[in-house]
Amino acid sequence: MNSVETKHVKAFKAEKLRPEEIIQSYLEGWIGDMFGTRDKKQHNGMFILTNERACFYRKGVLGEVFETIPISNITSIETLSNLGHRTLRLHTSNDEMSFKTFETKELFDQTHAAIEELRQRPSPLSQETKPCPDCAESVKVAARKCRFCGYEFGEESVPVEVKAETAKTDTTTSEAYVSLEQIEKPEQLSSAPQSDQDDGKEKQKKFIGIGCLAFVGLGILFTAVGSGDGDGNGAASQRSKPAAETMANAAESPEEKKARELKEYADQLEREIESMQDGNRMTDMPDNMSQISAQIVLMSVRAILYKDRPRHESEDVKKLEREFIRLSTQYQRDAFPKLRKAYADELDKIGWESDIDVAAIGSGNRILRFTAGAFAANRNIKTAHDALKDMPSMLRFREVRYEWYRGSSWQGYDYDTALADGDWAHLGSYGWIKFD
C-alpha cells in the first residue's frame, strides 16, 4: 500500500521514469532543514523508490527539485523515529540523502524493507573485477580508484553502463518571477538553478524567485509560498520579463525606474487586496503539516511585500498600503487559531500509536498540551520538546505543557515573546521579526 499518488508522483512517472524502471514505493515528506540555506533548504515532495534508484522529487509550478541515488551506491541506511516525524537516511561513500515524513509506520517500514531487498540483489557489474595495473590486486570493474593502493583508473577503464548511470542529469531552466498564488508549499526561494553530482548521486534543483520578494527564509518556511494545490489567497501572477522589456528597463532614467517600480508595487498591492476582499478567511482547515507551513509562509510573504516597498510619497499608494495591512491583519487573526488546532490534531494522530494525547487548548488555542504516562520522566519531556523544534513559536503558541495524566501537575515551556495573532511580522533566520 502506497501513500496517495500526488501530482509529484504523476509528474515523475511522466518525466523522470526510465523505460526499464518500475516504481516500488513512495512516501510524502521533505528533505533539508527548516532553517537551512543553499542546498540545505527544506523542500516538500515525494520520496520515490524504483527498482534502480532512490529519488526525491518535487514538481513545482515553474520548476522542480530532483535528487537520486542509484540503489547500488547505497552503503548503509539509518531510520529514526520521534514524536514529530520519521527519518530515512541513505548513505553513499561520500554523500547522503536524508528524507523526513509524517507517513504511517507501516508505509515507512515497507519502504525501508523494499530498499534493503533491492540492495541485496546482485548487480551485473558487482561480480566482475579488473586487475589494478599498479598493485595487481583485483577491484570491482566499476571502480575508479583502487582501494588497495589508491591508483586512479582512466575513464577508458570504466564500463559504459557505469558512465551512463553517473552522468545522467536532467537539465532545466528556472523562471525569475512567481506570484503568491503560484508558490508551491514551503520551500522555494533562490535565484538560480543548481546542479551537482557526488558519488553517482544526481542532484538537479530548480529554484523559483519571487520577483521583488527576495527574503531570507526558513527553508520550507522557506522563502516562497505556494498554493498551487492548497488555499491560495494570493495575487495574480507575474511573468518573466521579455528580453526587449529588460533592455528597455536598462535604458531608463532613474526617475523613470522609480516610477515604474512604484507602479509595479501598487499593482501587486491591488491584486493582493482584491484576493483578500473576496472572502478574507482561511476557509479550508489544513489537513497536513505542509499546508500548515504554507499558510505561515503566505502570511510572512505578504508582510515582506510591504517591508520591501519602494520609497514614495504617493497618497494613492499609501491608501492601498493601509487597506492591504488591514486585510492581512484580519486574515492572520482568523487563521492562526485554526492553524494551531490543525497542528495539534496532526500531532495527535502521530502520537496515537504511542498513547500520546495532543490538544490545542485555551483562548485562541494558544496552549499546546501533551498527555502521556511517559511524561512522568523529565528526559521524555525534553526529547519530545526537542522534536517540535520551532513550530510552536512559528504558530505563536504561548505555552507548551506536558502532563502524565489528564488533570495532573504539568511541566512546560513558555513562549513569552510570542506575538499576538494580529501582529504583523515576517520570517527571518531565527523566527518571526516584528515590524517597528
Domain membership of residue 380 (yes or no) is yes
Q: Is the pTM value of this prediction over 0.75?
A: no
Domain membership of residue 369 (yes or no) is yes
Most confidently predicted of 91-95, 96-100, 144-148: 96-100
Rg (CA), the chain: 25
Phi, psi for residue 67 in degrees, rounded to 5: -130, 140
Q: pLDDT: is 221 or 20 the higher one?
A: 20
Please, which residues have CB within 8 angstroms of residue 272's CB and are 6 or more apart in sequence? 180, 234, 235, 302, 305, 324, 327, 328
Domain boundary among 205, 240, 264: 205
Domain membership of residue 307 (yes or no) is no
Domain encompassing residue 33: 7-205
User: How do residues 316-340 score in pLDDT, each as one tens digit?
Assistant: 999 999 999 999 999 999 999 999 9
pLDDT at residue 386, as a whole number:
83
Residue 159 pLDDT exceeds 60: no
Domain boundary among 140, 174, 205: 205
Residue 179 pLDDT exceeds 70: no
Domain boundary among 143, 174, 205: 205
Domain membership of residue 58 (yes or no) is yes
Domain membership of residue 126 (yes or no) is yes
Q: At what angle do helices 315-351 and 289-307 cross, to 10 degrees?
A: 160
Q: pLDDT: is 21 or 64 the higher one?
A: 21
Span 394-412, average pLDDT: 89
Most confidently predicted of 88-102, 162-176, 211-225: 88-102
- Asked if 301 contacts 180 with a C-beta cutoff of 8 angstroms, the reply is yes
Q: What is the grid cell recorded at 166? A: 553517473
Domain membership of residue 278 (yes or no) is no
Span 394-406, average pLDDT: 91
User: How do residues 261-301 score in pLDDT, each as one tens digit?
Assistant: 899 889 988 888 888 876 556 667 787 888 888 888 888 88
Q: How many domains does the chain have?
A: 2
Q: What is the DSSP letter of 343?
A: H
Q: Supply the mean pLDDT for the chain.
A: 75
Domain membership of residue 402 (yes or no) is yes
Span 90-100, average pLDDT: 90
CATH number at residue 73: 2.30.29.30
Domain membership of residue 170 (yes or no) is yes
Residue 41 pLDDT exceeds 50: yes
Q: pLDDT: is 394 or 205 the higher one?
A: 394
pLDDT at residue 280, as a whole number:
58
